[in-house]
Structure 1
């Protein structure tokens, strides 16, 4: 049995997507709590969940189309959905459907977007210190 193949019980081996998503949601959730008014948390949560569900379903559709040899959803569309906030759904879909997990170029772009979301959330919690420092450095370098 390979590390990528199914186990005897039919379940796939690999990273448990829910645990990874949960850990990766800590910073964005903390930023939402910090910056949004209390009533905004619910709307942000609904929006985030909706984008993730849309992205999850897009991955499922693309996987099914690939299996049937039909027209596929462009990778740029899948990436845009993840970039707009649907990355948790994309991550779960990649693991559940075993879709787009072996293509390194796709994974590189995907994880860069996840890291961008983490960076924005973390930097916002620290008063945008890193971003201001980068802009200061660039202004000084260009002057």
Structure 2
């Protein structure tokens, strides 16, 4: 999923620079939700794509915070 997110960010940047049909933000965010957040962050930085676009940037940030909170809760739950 991470590799897919990374490639989608690259493709969307390519399409944006050539006035081609873009990847919907909803798709980029759902790929991040389903495990592609590391690739989404990397793709965002490498391609310098959607780094200042709001509310996309905030939504991606909240997805990552939620995933980290879920992982932490699962780790703590697993200890007991």
TM-score range, shorter chain: over 0.9
Query: Equivalents in 1 of 2:22, 2:54: separation in Å?
Result: 18
Aligned pairs (5 A) from 1:28-43: none
- Could you give the per-residue CA deviations for residues 76-104 of structure 1, whole angstroms, max 9, x where no partner exists? 00000000000000000000000000112
For residue 84 of structure 1, what is the aligned residue in structure 2?
Answer: 34
Query: Equivalents in 2 of 1:125, 1:67: separation in Å?
Result: 42
Aligned counterpart for 1:74 among listed residues 24, 48, 63: 24
1:113 aligns with 2:59: no
TM-score relative to the length of structure 2: 0.94
Query: Equivalents in 1 of 2:31, 2:20: separation in Å?
Result: 21
For residue 102 of structure 1, what is the aligned residue in structure 2?
Answer: 52
C-alpha RMSD over aligned residues = 1.0
Ranked by relative contact order (alpha carbons within 8 Å, sequence separation 6 or more), the top structure is 2
- Could you give the per-residue CA deviations for residues 98-131 of structure 1, whole angstroms, max 9, x where no partner exists? 0000112001100100011100000111118xxx
1:126 aligns with 2:76: yes
Which ranges in structure 2 are unaligned for 5 or more consecutive residues? none
TM-score relative to the length of structure 1: 0.53
Q: Runs of at least 4 residues of structure 1 off by over 6 A? A: none
Aligned pairs (5 A) from 1:55-66: 55-66=5-16
Equivalenced residues, count: 78
